[in-house]
Every structure is written in C-alpha cells, then in structure tokens.
Amino acid sequence: MKLFHAPPSPFVRKVHIAAIELGLIDELELIPIAVAPGMENKDYAQKGNPLRKIPALVRTDGSVLYDSGVICEYLDARAGGGRILPGGGEARWTMLRDHALANGICDAAVLIRYETWLRPEEFRWDAWTQDQWNKVNTGLECFEANPESCGDPNPDLLNIAQIGLACALGYMDFRYDERNWRGSYPKLSGWFAEVSKRRSIAETMPDAPAK
Ligand SMILES: N[C@@H](CCC(=O)N[C@@H](CS)C(=O)NCC(=O)O)C(=O)O
C-alpha cells in the first residue's frame, strides 16, 4: 500500500503511528508529497485525494482511501479489527468523540499555520486566528480535565484517540514551541512525556521544518 506522506502533517503522522502500533508499517510505502492551499497538485487530485489533502492511502487493488480517520479504521480492520478502537459498544462512541476532538485541535492548529505563514500579511484576520487558538485551547483543556480521555500512556497498543492527541501535542511542539503548552496543561505534559517513549511516537517526530 502507498501512503501519501509529509512528516510535518499531524494527520499523516496519525496514520503512520497507527501503522506502527498495528504492526503494518512494512506494508506501507511512504510517498512524499508537498501540499498546501493554493498548490494545484493536479496529479494528486486525480490519483489521491480530490481535495488535495493528505493523507491518502492507495490500497493494493489501486483504490484510494482518505481521510486520516478512515485510513486508521481501515488499518485497524486489516489488523484484525477492534485493536486501536473498539468494534462496537459505548466505548467506541466515546473514543470516536475523543478522536474527533484531537482532530479538531489539529485542524485549528494547521489552519493557523496557513493563515500566519501563507496568507499575505495585509489579508490576515487576527480575530479569526485568535478564535482558532481558542479552539485549540478549549480542546486541550478538555483533555487536561478528563484524564480518562487521555488514557493509560503505557498500554499494549495506543488507541486512535490517544494517537490523535499525541499528534496534536507533537504539532504544538513542532510549530508553536514558543507558546509553551506544557505550562498550561501539566497533566497532558506528563502524559505526553510517557507516550513519547514509544517507538511509534519517537520514530515519527516531525523534525523537518519544510512542508
Ligand atoms: N480531515 C483531514 C485533514 C487533512 C489535512 O488538512 N491535511 C493538511 C496537511 S496537515 C493538508 O493536506 N492541507 C492541504 C490543503 O488544505 O490544501 C484528515 O484527517 O485527513
């Protein structure tokens, strides 16, 4: 299978981590691609994701899956099912909700990056950016206040919500280190320190500054 990939993307990283956790990483070929709003990427729009967003997964039969949550569910099913998210029951809904919260934090953080890096300075909208920061903060506050949503940082397998949260915190470190999120969220800080010792997290650090 081929995974369209860029190390800085928290969404791509989520799939990468899930593949390592599930023991499927050797089945994935990482195809580097640069994406950003405004880049045409016509070929990728045809062969990958028509929305030109990453990740997209090309399966062995040539069919394509996106977005990151769908790909993670597919990998889970391929690894037997019920491994990084429960196959059913109340626990599944709670975990999908927590995953959506982590994903929303990533969405807001990535949009801020586009606003402050890509958009010409004269068109920037400060109130909008502050609103996105508010979403990041209230999302992180929710995890900080609900340790059960973060879960055990040393499980046999990370679950999809934990993977999403680790990607959100990793993206904060990568793009917004100066904001020192650890000072505001001490429980998340301790949780992330433990989780970061895992192979899946350590090997997928977004260390390349260019997108
Ligand atoms: N909901 C999507 C979000 C993917 C996403 O926004 N990826 C960013 C990279 S971090 C992207 O492809 N941006 C390019 C664009 O918006 O044109 C997912 O979970 O896969």
Rounded to whole angstroms, the Cα distance separating 25 from 118 reads: 33
Sign (positive/negative) of CA torsion 4, 68, 60, 43? negative
CB of 50 sitting under 6 A from ligand 1: no
DSSP state of 58: E
Q: Which domain holds residue 194?
A: 90-200
Q: Is the CB of 41 under 6 A from ligand 1?
A: no
Q: Is residue 59 part of a domain?
A: yes
pLDDT tens profile 164-176: 999 999 999 999 9
The CATH number of the domain holding residue 63 is 3.40.30.10
The pLDDT value recorded for residue 207 is 79
Please tell me the total count of domains within the chain. 2
Domain final position from 47, 78, 109: 78
The pLDDT value recorded for residue 211 is 37
Residue 83, domain member (yes or no): no
Helix (H) or strand (E) holding 167: helix 160-176
Q: Which atom of ligand 1 is nearest to the CA of 37?
A: 17
* Positions of the chain with pLDDT lower than 50, given as ranges: 208-211
